[in-house]
Structure 1
Amino acid sequence: MKLSDFDFPLPDHLIATRPASPRSSARLLVARGDSIADRTVTDLPGELRPGDRLVLNDTRVIPARLSGIRHRTGGEGARIEITLLQPTPGGHWRALLKPLKKVRDGETIDLPAGLTATVETRDDGQATLSFNLEGAAFDAALAEAGNMPLPPYIEARRKADARDKTDYQTVWARNDGAVAAPTASLHFDEPLLQALADRGVGFTHVTLHIGAGTFLPVKVDDIADHRMHAEWGRISPEAADEINATRAAGGRIIPVGTTALRLLESAARDDGTLAPWTGETDIFITPGFRFRITDALMTNFHLPKSTLMMLVSALMGRDRIMAIYAHALREEYRFFSYGDASILFPEA
């Protein structure tokens, strides 16, 4: 299939720059087979059945965006923007620096909250940094000095602020490591979780640390030539047992967000059961993919020509998903990370 098969026109005014408040007041498009209904996220319990299980990504977004001053012996300082990507086994951090070409190995970058970064190496458009603080001291300094790494389509319209430290984090986030939020999960608040529990819906937590690669554009015309970025994830034995028990009892498995779905489908066996799993996944889900464990998906509205448009097209069918998006555009749903939600049931 061609990249153009997943394109559609999106007016700028439908790109959300702030979330709905309260979270669960966002709109919810419900697609069951070929039918489409307009709801709100507070209606979600009524769209599910007792015994269904929502799978939630409990990754926690770190305040990975930093701004500091580079110091060079005998030279003037210059402002450097840092986006942390992931820790290395040696205790350093891989990061994007802007501008990278003006930085040299061995230079230091002074940051707020007493934090200092040293440039160890540069390669493949990234840098490896070491910091003067470790452990809890590093975490505390990063919390003070860093900003949330908002997606580029929001950053182009406004800078991150104090509200984003709450808004761009799920209410159940607990495992530090992501530089992007599992955004479908941002619609959940405590009253909604309680209403779902009262309905008899179960919850299972898994972890997939979302990387900055999630925002990289697809640059090939034939999507078969695209290579996905790798992300680290974990499904605990308890999580696998809960999901297997739900399937055995006839309940549906519904990932909240494409990240939870990608993790489940990476670990699922051919018979639809799940084993505990830890590692990196670069799974690329496109039309023709055989879903082994996913019965439905709750997700936001995605970028044109993105790998996530390909994923939802694989679940619902390309023609059906384009009809769903045409409806969302006509009804002026809000798009992307802070936008509205959909829940997609392949079968009516």
Structure 2
Amino acid sequence: MVNQSIRVEESQSRKNKPDSSELVFGRSFTDHMFVMDYSSGLGWHNPSIIPYQNLSIDPAAMIFHYGQSVFEGLKAFRTQDGDIQLFRPEKNLQRLNHSNERLVIPPIDEEFGLEAIKQLVELDKEWVPDAEGTSLYIRPFIISNEPYLGVAPSGHYKFIIIMSPVGSYYKEGINPVKIAVENKYVRAVKGGTGEAKTGGNYASSLKAQEIVEKEGYSQVLWLDGLEKKYIEEVGSMNVFFKINGEVVTPALNGSILAGITRDSVLELLRHWDISVTERRVSMQELYEAHQDGTLEEAFGSGTAAVISPIGELYWDGNHLNINEGKTGELSKKIYDTITGIQYGKIKDPFNWVVKVGKKTEVK
């Protein structure tokens, strides 16, 4: 536990805020950031909220050479009443510590981490946009900053939180996308870092993504790294399929990231008494379900998009058209329910929402 209050240094030079209609994901950042240091012997210390600024870091810092880092992604939403609320932030902090354990990074106190997020959002509350579908994206991350060219866990770290106002992931509603099944490259393997949220997993996905985009596909459907038979993720999202009335999703196996939205979808489906199973799903099974007409819907789930319907899968020369390329009824219901809870439009029976501060006006 960090038994310290958070020092706050307010910016004396506030930035111009982008127009809500022109927001681009991850391109503009708020006035302040949270920083906290770790060193062997002292533990986590010096928690501060300071003006957003560049970092001064030694070229020999271990993050540059051995990639010891983790990150998270969550959002703050402005309700119609002007309140600001977070969606299941404790789950992100739990997962951050799970990633920390895998990358041999000292754990953070989760309650203190949530308090840091809330204080930062409260200070920069005017950056939370109020246009339909917009939000404030929150990026906590930890990097190893000890200057040492040796392959070993770092003795020094920096925990940072930055925030960015973002627009709706979909410009014209949730439209199904075309996905190519990847047979050559793999994202992660069991025993690796696939279940941790670390930058290397995303770097390893770039080549396959580059190839399929040139061929007119939006994303890659990843298969397992051993047999290349079983479905794992779609792009950087978890994936679900509705087959003959039952919803199935790949079981967490050590190489699949445990998505917060994935968990929310599972809870919703069980709340609605819809049959849902976590298990291995092969492409052959999916192909056969398509052939016999029982593959009803497919969608990805994640923080950025919430739900991303899949209208077509391309696999080994076969084009699998799903639900006539239209958004499925269940996909739409899940999307409307989760976003409705996030923006305070419908009741939250799961206690997923965490309020931040009092009602404010956007200037």
Normalised by the length of structure 2, the TM-score is 0.25
**Larger relative CO (CA 8 A, sep 6+): 1 or 2?**
1
Whichever structure has more helix as a proportion of its residues is 1
